[in-house]
Amino acid sequence: MAATSDTPAQAPFELAPEQRAWCARLRALGAVRLSPLAAGGEPGRVNLRLLEELGDLDLLARAVPLPGRARNIRALELCLLRESLAYSCPEAETALALQGLGAGPVADAGSDEQRARWLPAAATGRAVAAFALSEPGAGSDAAALTLRAEPDGPGGWRLTGTKTWISNAPYADFYSVFARTGEAPGPRGITAFLLPAGRPGLSGESLEMLSPHPLGTLTFDAVPVGPGDLLGEPGRGFGVAMRTLNLFRPSVGAFAVGMAQAALDASLRHAAERPAFGGVLRDLQSVSHQLAEMATRTEAARLLVYAAACAYDRSGGAGADIVRRSAMAKLMATETAQYVVDAAVQIHGAAALRRGHLLEHLYREVRAPRVYEGASEVQRSLIAKELYK
């Protein structure tokens, strides 16, 4: 498969021919190689066969940077990858994204030893990663987290508290955990840890979700961590979390665009074939105008996503406009996808509500991205804050 990581970021309004070809191959892989594995998975559990296949296809390595490439994941490539997989196999897209999110803090702030131990295993799907930030009282307001890291001997801590809505929990092999060590209130008092599964005092349970992804709750009962478990410096963990989220936020929009495009294409086929009032559905002006609106909004969302990703790549993630662009891209794309999938269900009618229909599947999948990694309301607040500067 042709790589795109060394290709300079194109103008966001047009992909290079090799990028378009790569996306087409990814959509085909999703349909032929990944969808059958996704269908064989157990709802709410990590699909290890699917994850390992993503590793064998060298796709996880495009979301999980290997040692020596720790900061070389390109946002545009990640967006193209997630959009293409979401089009044909949303479960594969989600498995890849959760793996990249969980391993991201290790790549960003881990020691050489931590990176060598965990990143190759995560990039091949042999170790399951998880990003443990959210709590029952600290979701979108991540700086309000209360998981306590209490001093325990020279250079050690004990973690006590609860995390919830955690990707791949409680089945992950390692967790990027964010806890309050107390150097200062708010974001300045947060420290990041790499916590292997199986530590004494760590337990968890899975959560049943609308779309059955592997999410769960983790309970920390005086879990021991030491200096070798630190990701970066004490009190600097919030920055580690935000750098990971800043990379992945535009690609959440790409995930949504992929689902919107799948719903739109299904609607175009259905409208061309479904008999209605002496013709077919697309002959009705109300339907054709609806399809035009769906297509226009999807393309607008796609362009915002690509623009945000290109801005990230050009600045190495340090651009002054990254927060605004990423928030706009996620907001526009996730809200658009919800609209497009809902409109597609309306065009298909009752058949789309039947369990197992593509749109029934997308209808469940499309709701969560408007909430996680910063709800739509939080994105609007971020955008407004940036505008006021």
CA dist 365 and 252 (Å) reads 12
Q: What is the pLDDT of residue 14?
A: 84
Give the pLDDT of residue 84.
98
267 φψ region: left (φ > 0), alpha (ψ -120 to 50), beta (else) = alpha
Among the listed residues 75, 107, 101, 97, the one whose alpha carbon sits nearest the alpha carbon of residue 5: 75
CATH 1.10.540.10 positions along the chain are 17-128
Q: pLDDT at position 220, please?
A: 98
Give me the CATH topology for the region 130-235: Butyryl-CoA Dehydrogenase, subunit A; domain 2 (2.40.110)
pLDDT digit string, tens, across residues 329-368? 999 999 999 999 999 999 999 999 999 999 999 999 999 9
CATH 2.40.110.10 domain locations along the chain: 130-235
Q: Which fold has domain 17-128?
A: Butyryl-Coa Dehydrogenase, subunit A; domain 1 (1.10.540)
pLDDT of residue 12: 57
Please report, as a single letter, which amino acid is at residue 205. Answer: E
The reported pLDDT for the residue numbered 183 is 65
pLDDT score recorded for residue 124: 96
Query: Is residue 144 classed exposed, middle or buried when 0-12, 13-18 and 19+ CB atoms within 10 A define those classes?
Result: middle
At residue 1, the pLDDT reads: 42
Q: Which CATH number fits domain 239-388: 1.20.140.10, 1.10.443.10, 2.60.40.10, 3.40.50.2300?
A: 1.20.140.10
Active-site amino acid positions: 373
- The parts of the chain modelled with pLDDT lower than 50 are 1-9, 70
At which residue do the structure tokens 């597609």 appear? 344
Q: List where CATH 1.20.140.10 sits in the chain.
A: 239-388
User: Whole-prediction pTM value?
Assistant: 0.93
Query: What's the confidence (pLDDT) of residue 186?
Result: 76
Token digits of residue 336: 């658009």
Residue type, 305: V
Q: How far apart are CA 382 and CA 308, in angstroms?
A: 15
pLDDT of residue 309: 95
pLDDT for res 70: 42
